[in-house]
Structures are given as structure tokens and as C-alpha cells.
Structure 1
Amino acid sequence: MDQNTRIAVIGAGIAGLTVAGLLQQQGYQVRVYEQAARFWRIGAGIILGASTAKVMRRLGIEDGMVRAGIKPDAFVSRDVASGRILNELVFDAAREADFGGPFVNIHRADLHRLLVSRLKPGTIHFDHRLDGLDEGPGAAVLSFDNGERVEADIVIGADGIHSRVREAILGREPPRYIGKVALRAVFPSARAAGVPMRDCTKWWGADRHLLAYFMTDRRDECYVMAAVPSEEWGADTPPAPGTREDFLSAFPNAHPDLTALLEAVDNVSLLPICDRERNDVWSAGRAVLMGDACHAVRPFMAAGGSMAIEDAAILSRAIAACDSPEAAFRTYVANRVPRVGDVQRISAENSWLKLPGDTGWFFGYDPFTDTLDHAA
């Protein structure tokens, strides 16, 4: 499409910033509209594999991502009760060469900062909450709650699981609570001094699990996230503060290594885990969805962020390769749905990396060299 194409991205999260950066790199006019008044250091950790490192490489921030985060020595799976190692995927130089990039743990806010640095000044417009999206005679018309109205040739909905752009395309439907609550904590590693802990470990129980990892190579900050069954929560239950006891009571018969780590937990929060039923309708007219707005997945494969970043690469390629929004969206969806569908299924199974198996199809994928099949 012509580089005069006006592109509006709704949402300045990881998905929106990545696609905006890639499109600006190709010369497109891009504006990002964010409902928040400003950015601040929120969120916790995120795990990114080699497929996403290739996107960061294209943006020129791969080295910065590695410096801000940590390249873990391995992803280790252990049994909650016995402590037995079930799987150990080592991330040495040979494995990195096989995958074509590193495996990185990083704080979301640090990744976010790097992505913002790749945008032209004035790209992000804060205090813009989308109220309406209409198809005009020659453009989409966006209405914001601050009274501003904007026209765009393409609207990209990167506004998360509660996406307003999704509502405009598919109608209003709440996210689906999956019957589990997330317990999360970020705390100084000094609180767990002497506790055996690898760079990235997932502890597996019969109906629950816990993921623990460092977020920088200083190893001075630890992130712990558990998924535990609960009938007391729902999709609309707001996040709430928790306690160390919430973690300990969720894993009463844990191996001493895990119990010792949980004794050090501090700054706990609780929130419902939600996803959406699979729906492969990702676009309508001049509007298209990406990331959690169209394929919110359960966080059991640590792949939600990776899928959003890959979406950005394929969508930006499709926009550049096609002569109309409709053709670009068809191409994007045709190329993304099969891969995302596999990730949705495996995430729901909660089986990824529990035992040794093929990982090259996921980590070795390159969204820039993969053939872009043009949908009819």
C-alpha cells in the first residue's frame, strides 16, 4: 500500500508499539492512541523466545533487550512434590544458533521502554480512550472520549483482551474465566538468599503450576507466578492484593526448594486468568485485530507476548505487500491463524516444555523469512 496510508494503532502496549515501530520503519504514517494518561512501571516479567528476538533485531533493539533482561541458562521443569527434574532445555550458544536468536526474560516495562524508543516523537497520543469506530465513505472514523475524532485508512486494534476495536468488529462479549487465579509476586532476590533457584523454572503439580525466574542478569529481582484453581473468582473480579500465605497454602506439600522460595515471597497480587474462545474473524472493513484483542491465550505456554510480536511482523509485511486493507488483512489472517491456533491449543493443554520434545517449530520460527502466502 501507498506510504501515505494513514494508520491508527489503538493501544500502546507491546503489540501496538511493535507494529507501529515496524510500520514507521517502512515509511508509513502511524499514530498510536493510548487511553492511559502516561506510562509508568507496571506489570511484571515476560518470557520471549528467539522468534521475537528476530523482530527486536529488525527494530534495532535486540542487544538492548538482552542487556535489560537476562539470557537464562535453561528452562527447567520440576515436579512440585518430588522436585524431580522433568525437562531441561539448555540455552547455550549452540541452541541459540539453532533457533537463530536468544531466549530472554525481561521486565515488561523495560521491553516497553525499548519499543517506545524506536518511535518518532509525537507518535503516541495519551488520554485517548476509543468510544466509537465507524466506516466513513473513504476512511474509518474514530471517536475518543476526549471529544477528538480522527480519520484513518487502517485501524489496528492492539488494545488487549478488553479490546474496544474487537467490540466494533465482533460485538460485546466478556472474556472467559478459566477457573484459575494467578498469584504473582516481584521481590528482591536477597529475600531468598541461599535458596536453590535456576534462572527459569516451572514447577508442575496435578492441577496447578508455578513459574519462577530472574528478570535481569544481575539476578537481583525475582518474579513468581502461580496458577491455582479457584471457584471464588470470575472474569469480572478485579485484581486484589494477596499475601505470602496465599502462595504457601496453594502448595502445601511442595518440595523444600519451592517452599523455601515461597517463604521469601513479597508484594503479592491476585487476578483471574481469562482467555477467549477461538474466533478466527480478526478483521472487518478497515479495522484489524492483533495480540490479545483477537487471540487471548492462557499464560501457560508463556507465548502471549511472542504471538503479539509475531503478529506485528506479519501484519506489517502484509500491509506493505498488498494494495488494499482488505487484501492485507486476508493475507495476515491466513498466515497467522494456523500458528496461533496451535499455540492456543497447547496453552490450554498446559503441556509445553513439561517433558522433552520438539521446540524448533516454535523458537526457530522467523516471521520475516517465512513465506507470506497471499490469501485469495
Structure 2
Amino acid sequence: MEFAYSDKVTTLQEKLKDFMDRHIYPNEARHDHEIATGDRWQPTALMEDLKKKARLEGLWNLFLTHSPRGAGLTNLEYAPLCEIMGRAPMASEVFNCSAPDTGNMETLELYGNEEQKEQWLKPLLAGEIRSCFAMTEPAVASSDATNIESTILRDGNHYVINGRKWWTTGAPHPRCKIAIFMGKTDPANPSRHRQQSMVLVPMDTPGVKVVRPLSVFGYDDAPHGHAEVVFDNVRVPRSNILLGEGRGFEIAQGRLGPGRIHHCMRAIGAAERALEDMCKRVKSRVAFGKPLAEQTVTLERIAEARIMIEQARLLVLKAAYMMDTVGNKVARAEIAMIKVAVPKMLSSVVDMAIQAHGGAGVSDDFGLAKAYASARSMRIFDGPDEVHRNQIGRQELAKYN
């Protein structure tokens, strides 16, 4: 594995950093203010303006790997760019590289037919619409996706969809026009992993109801948000199925691999910024007669944060490299490892940064409280720590059969 980035990646890194310096960091407070003082569930004028600027500068759809529709980057090449975007919560949307749209676009690219791509992938890539992914359910332990109770049942040339989903990220957004819905087309199939399918559900279909936005530690993440959504006798054409009946788990595995690289590299960017904030803070504050930066406990925390960030980055880059070279299936242990290691690292680094800021750290003035909420949430979404640890443990034991 090469540790030096290619000239192409280095050039994109510099362009991204320059854009962040000129347009993102100076506008973070304005973005928050526009959301707080306007209709929270409408796109801000600032965000729309920044998207136009990003597109004009060629910083658009960088995520879509191995596809002529994207920037033609591998997972390993995109990873350091994703880290830069992760330094500001608003940034990835500016470049049309935010979840769940990225995962949904990759799903359509890999598993959609030409008609589905024309109708939904094309406007998503253009940033004209948004999307959501409806998988998790409140009534069952969704860490085991075979528990899903929602149904997608045939009725002539249509499917009839019934179910209640939640943590459907993006559903409250006014431009969310399409959901990828996971449910059971064959509940009686003896293979628990062949019962599920994924189907495209336009959000304006009769029977689709966004019940409420959900908050994460008090943050509603408007205007994007996370929602509880009811699907009550929703009818869609059978042509809306992705890949075929019984292929839901296969699609999920293809979708989640790159998504975990994206989440983890963004988390590393957030950790880097938290460490920077901590270092600036301790150099400017004096306690017990000397700067906090000279306190031994502070130095130890800074060192520990740097070590953890470096370890996490190397592990994620290794996972990305393996996905590119040997495929997601062979890299499944590494993909599981990063999903456990990186959120834990981010939680620890942000926690230390909060401590260094004192009371200011738990306010919204420095963004650390929200970063901490996001870090803690990462240990649950895309599969909780326990599921990934069990997978890693089983694979390790299998070496000794």
C-alpha cells in the first residue's frame, strides 16, 4: 500500500482546502443562523449559493467511485477528500457528497436499471432532489436486519408496501423525493437473508406519511433531519424493485461498505478539528499560574488524541485500499474494524476537547457538543458496535479451524 497520495488526489485536496478556507469556515455561523431564524425545514439560501460555487469549481460528486458519472476516484483516493469535508458538518452537502444521498446514488449506480437511473439517479447527481433510506424499524431490534417486519407484497403489476420506519435520514427535507425502502417480499423463505428486497418509493405516493422529525441528543439536524415514516398500503409498480426480489441483503452489503469509509473519514476530519480547537484553547487559557498547555495532563491528552487519530486514519485507508484491490467481501473484517474503532476514537478526542474548553465546551459556541452527539450516534447507526465486534471475533476464530 502506497502512503503517498497521487498528484490527482493532492490537487483535489488543495482545491478542497482552499474552498473550505474561502467559503465554508467563514460561513458556518451564518449557516446556523439562517437555520435558526428562518423556516428550519427549508434549504438555506447560503447552502444553495455554496453548491453553485462548488459545482463551478469542479468539486461535485467526488464520491462516486469507479463510475464515469463521478470523479473517477477509488475509495482510497476519495478517503482523504472526505476527511477534509468532515471538518465542518455543513461541508459534505455543499459538494453533493452527503449521506444518505451518496449511498443511495451508489445503490442506483450499482443496482438500478437504466430507467431508474434516468428518473432518480440523474436528478440526484445534479443536486436537484434529495433522498432517504428506509430500513430501521421502531418495533424490532434492527441491529439484526432479518427482524424487519415491513412487507413488500405483490398485487398484480404492483407491490403493496406496509411498515413503520424511523431514523430515516433525509425524509423531512422538502426536496426528498425518493426513498429506498427495505422490506420482506418473501417472509416464508427458509433463508432469512433471501426474504428481503429493496424497492424505490416516491415520497409523494399516497400512503407515505412523515410522522415526525427525530432529534439526536436534542439536535434535530434541520433542514435534513431524521424522521419516523409510515407506509400505509403504498402502491408502486413492480418495475420499482432494485436488482430483484430477495436481493435486499446483497444490496445492503454493497451499499454499506463505501458508506462506512465515508462516515469514518469524515469522523477523522471532525477529530482533527476538535484537536486543533483543543490546542488553541489550552494555549490561550491560564489556570493555577500557568497556561493549560503546560499542564502535564493537557500534554498527555493532546498526545493521546494525536496517536488515536493517526491509528484510525491508517486503519481506514487500509480498509479503503483493500476494498479497491480485493473487494468488499475480503475486506469485511477491516470494514467492521473501522466502524468500531473510529467512532470510539472520535468520542474520546471530542470529550478531551470539551474538557479543555470547560463550560464553553458543552455550549453550542464551539460545535463540540454537537460533534460529541454525532460521535456517540456513530456507535449505533450502520450497525452497532456489538454486531461488528461479533463479526470480527468470528472471523478471527475461523483462522484456527
Question: Of the two structures, which has the highest relative contact order with CA contacts closer than 8 Å and spacing of 6 or more?
Answer: 1
One fold, TM greater than 0.5? no
More helix by share: 2
Larger strand proportion, structure 1 or 2? 1
Q: What TM-score do the two structures reach when normalised by structure 1?
A: 0.27
Flag the structure with larger Rg. Answer: 2
